[in-house]
């Protein structure tokens, strides 16, 4: 009697496998919507979810959960849509194979269908078909080889620009900003119309890659990777850019990247009688220079003439007046045994064109990174007035290691701050903060208006342009528009999976003045 009154336990309508299958189908549907929304836009190639490996894995997943779905037509439709998207995405790669199979079928059909009465006619037709198909296959073979090479470059870009930062994280190593030469050439910077500001392009190098920072349609800052060619695997420690060309300094020499084709397409990559077309939008090494195997510490393209380039090494300063074709040492009696740490070129409010160079005695990098106030190393700063017969003049030294120099408001045209702030001639970043030199004072003065991260001043990276001053370290870059404005975060590094498993000290993000 009791057994009859007990309620029978009801089995669950959905099993665990069915629930997982439904989740998989929903995830695939969301991915399809995202993929078709993005289409073949320029940004889609840099999204990991749109890598061709992802849709292939989704197809495998859907075939595995197919039997647990009652309405199987939905799974079939999703597989068809994913396959169609994948086919359109890889059409350029698959086209040679499509043509190859098509010609093979055409040859077989023609061989059997045409009515040949004599044997030699069949032989002539065979030779003609082979010549036509062979020519087409030779052409498509070249395309396949080119596409295979491009796929290899794409895989390397994916490894350095996406996989490495995602796995092990990244650290900023150098920054530079190019200013449109048309807005500064032969002009006093303060005369730039506020309604027509100069065009500025921001470039950033990490321990893995090099990026151009761009504003997307939503005015959000995004990175566009330009890591390719000979720069793969190189540690970039200096950057300089003009409107058309970018230079990168590495421990093994100088590298160049043309954003637009050079004016002379027959310009030589190297000298010595061997002329080859300059690569366009591809990093290549600048060879046959006095510093081919030296470590490049600093680079500057003069803002009033982008054919004049200065390069600083661990034991010398060099200059080129012909866009890097030939190089000459600059004041070898002064710089032949000194480490050049920074080079900048400025146009002050009087229209004078000045070059500043910071140098020090050769030092060990590990000691330099650890040095704060103990045993300070003196950094000398020299300047030279372009077009004058004067020798290089010396400014007061800084009893610190200097990471970089930057022009103050007096040299960038930023006069929106106070009159005292607008008289700042130079900034110098050091391990213990930012120093500035006023045009009316001889000595360098430390400024407290520097953002701090984990108690350390963010001053290892420094660059100034008409839009303001940028300062940062390996993790964050900050920006302020005027000397009296507050610091605002500009960009931060990408934390990798490996960083999450490291023991990190507890710290508080410092406030900026």
| pLDDT one-digit tens code per residue, 269-321 | 443 333 344 567 889 999 999 999 899 999 999 988 989 999 999 889 999 99
Residue after which a domain boundary falls, among 43, 60, 89: 89
Q: Is residue 113 part of a domain?
A: yes
Tell whether 197 and 59 lie within a shared domain. Answer: no
Q: For residue 78, what are the domain limits?
A: 16-89
Q: Is residue 484 part of a domain?
A: yes
Q: 0.85 cut: is pTM over it?
A: no
Tens digit of pLDDT at every position of the chain (513 positions): 455 555 555 555 667 788 888 888 999 999 998 888 877 665 566 677 788 888 899 999 998 888 888 888 888 999 999 998 888 887 766 666 776 677 667 666 666 666 666 666 667 777 777 787 777 777 767 776 777 777 777 788 888 888 888 888 899 999 999 987 554 444 444 444 455 667 889 999 999 899 999 877 667 788 899 999 899 989 999 999 998 899 999 999 999 999 887 765 544 444 333 334 456 788 999 999 999 989 999 999 998 898 999 999 988 999 999 989 999 999 988 898 899 999 999 987 778 899 999 999 876 655 555 555 445 688 999 999 988 878 899 999 998 889 999 988 755 544 454 444 557 889 999 888 889 888 766 788 888 677 766 556 667 899 988 888 999 988 889 998 888 888 888 988 888 776 666 555 444 444 444
Tell whether 483 and 346 lie within a shared domain. Answer: yes
Q: Is residue 264 part of a domain?
A: no
Could you give the 3-state DSSP secondary structure of residue 176?
A: strand
Of 246, 370, 339, give the one whose Cα is nearest residue 300: 246
Name the domain count of the chain. Answer: 3
Q: Is residue 305 part of a domain?
A: yes
Tell whether 317 and 402 lie within a shared domain. Answer: yes
Tell whether 51 and 98 lie within a shared domain. Answer: no
Taking the CA atoms of 162, 167, 173 and 177 in sequence, report the sign of the dihedral they define: positive
Tell me the CATH number at 367: 2.120.10
In Å, how far are 40, 56, 123, 137 from 51, measured between CA atoms?
Answer: 12, 9, 48, 29
Q: Is residue 483 part of a domain?
A: yes
Tell whether 353 and 454 lie within a shared domain. Answer: yes
Q: Are 304 and 347 in contact (CB under 8 A)?
A: yes
Tell whether 301 and 419 lie within a shared domain. Answer: yes
Q: Is residue 3 part of a domain?
A: no
Residue after which a domain boundary falls, among 70, 89, 108: 89
- What is the Cα–Cα distance from 155 to 54, expressed in whole angstroms? 15
Tell whether 44 and 139 lie within a shared domain. Answer: no
Tell whether 196 and 152 lie within a shared domain. Answer: no
Strands (E) across 117-225 are located at: 172-179, 200-206, 210-215, 221-225
What are the beta bridge partners of residue 347? 353
Tell whether 135 and 42 lie within a shared domain. Answer: no
- What is the Cα–Cα distance from 258 to 281, expressed in whole angstroms? 5
Tell whether 116 and 200 lie within a shared domain. Answer: no
Q: Are 465 and 474 in contact (CB under 8 A)?
A: no
- What is the Cα–Cα distance from 128 to 418, expressed in whole angstroms? 83
Q: To which H or E segment does residue 3 belong?
A: helix 2-5
Q: Is residue 318 part of a domain?
A: yes
What are the beta bridge partners of residue 204? 175, 211
Q: To which H or E segment does residue 24 belong?
A: helix 16-38
Of 33, 42, 40, give the one whose Cα is nearest residue 81: 33
Tell whether 381 and 481 lie within a shared domain. Answer: yes
Q: Are 188 and 351 in contact (CB under 8 A)?
A: yes
Q: Is residue 457 part of a domain?
A: yes
Residue after which a domain boundary falls, among 39, 65, 89: 89
Tell whether 20 and 41 lie within a shared domain. Answer: yes
Could you give the 3-state DSSP secondary structure of residue 380?
A: strand
């Amino acid at each position: 009697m009791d057994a009859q009154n007990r309620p029978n336990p009801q089995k669950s309508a959905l099993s665990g496998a069915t629930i997982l299958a439904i989740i998989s189908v929903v995830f695939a549907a969301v991915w399809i919507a995202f993929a078709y929304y993005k289409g073949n836009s320029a940004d889609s190639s840099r999204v990991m979810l749109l890598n061709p490996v992802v849709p292939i894995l989704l197809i495998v997943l859907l075939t595995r959960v197919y039997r647990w779905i009652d309405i199987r037509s939905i799974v079939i439709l999703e597989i068809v849509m994913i396959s169609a998207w994948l086919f359109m995405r890889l059409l350029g790669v698959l086209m040679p194979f499509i043509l190859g199979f098509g010609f093979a079928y055409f040859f077989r059909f023609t061989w059997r269908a045409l009515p040949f009465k004599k044997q030699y006619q069949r032989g002539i037709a065979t030779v003609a078909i082979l010549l036509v198909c062979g020519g087409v296959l030779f052409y498509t073979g070249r395309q396949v080889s080119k596409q295979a090479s491009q796929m290899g470059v794409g895989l390397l870009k994916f490894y350095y620009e996406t996989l490495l930062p995602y796995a092990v994280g990244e650290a900023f190593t150098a920054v530079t900003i190019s200013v449109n030469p048309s807005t500064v050439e032969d002009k006093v910077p303060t005369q730039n119309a506020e309604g027509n500001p100069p065009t500025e392009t921001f470039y950033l190098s990490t321990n893995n890659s090099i990026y151009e920072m761009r504003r997307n349609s939503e005015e959000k800052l995004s990175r566009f990777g330009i890591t390719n060619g000979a720069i793969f695997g190189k540690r970039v420690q200096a950057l300089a850019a003009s409107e058309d060309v970018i230079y990168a300094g590495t421990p093994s020499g100088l590298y160049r990247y043309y954003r637009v084709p050079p004016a002379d397409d027959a310009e030589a990559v190297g000298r010595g009688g061997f002329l080859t077309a300059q690569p366009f939008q591809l990093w290549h090494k600048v060879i046959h220079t006095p510093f081919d195997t030296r470590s490049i510490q600093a680079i500057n393209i003069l803002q009033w003439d982008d054919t004049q380039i200065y390069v600083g090494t661990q034991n010398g300063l060099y200059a080129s007046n012909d866009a890097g074709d030939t190089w000459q040492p600059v004041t070898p009696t002064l710089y032949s045994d000194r480490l050049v740490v920074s080079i900048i070129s400025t146009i002050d409010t009087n229209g004078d064109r000045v070059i500043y160079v910071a140098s020090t005695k050769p030092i060990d990098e590990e000691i330099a990174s650890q040095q704060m106030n103990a045993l300070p190393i003196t950094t000398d700063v020299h300047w030279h007035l372009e077009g004058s017969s004067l020798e290089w003049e010396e400014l007061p030294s800084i009893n610190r290691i200097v990471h970089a120099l930057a022009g103050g408001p007096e040299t960038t045209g930023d006069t929106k701050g106070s009159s005292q702030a607008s008289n700042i001639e130079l900034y110098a970043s050091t391990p213990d903060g930012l120093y500035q030199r006023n045009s009316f004072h001889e000595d360098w003065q430390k400024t407290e208006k520097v953002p701090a991260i984990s108690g350390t001043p963010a001053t290892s990276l420094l660059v100034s342009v008409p839009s303001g001053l940028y300062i940062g370290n390996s993790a964050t870059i900050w920006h302020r528009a005027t000397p009296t404005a507050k610091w605002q975060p500009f960009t931060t590094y990408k934390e990798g999976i490996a960083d999450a498993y490291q023991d990190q000290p507890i710290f508080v993000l410092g406030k900026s003045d």
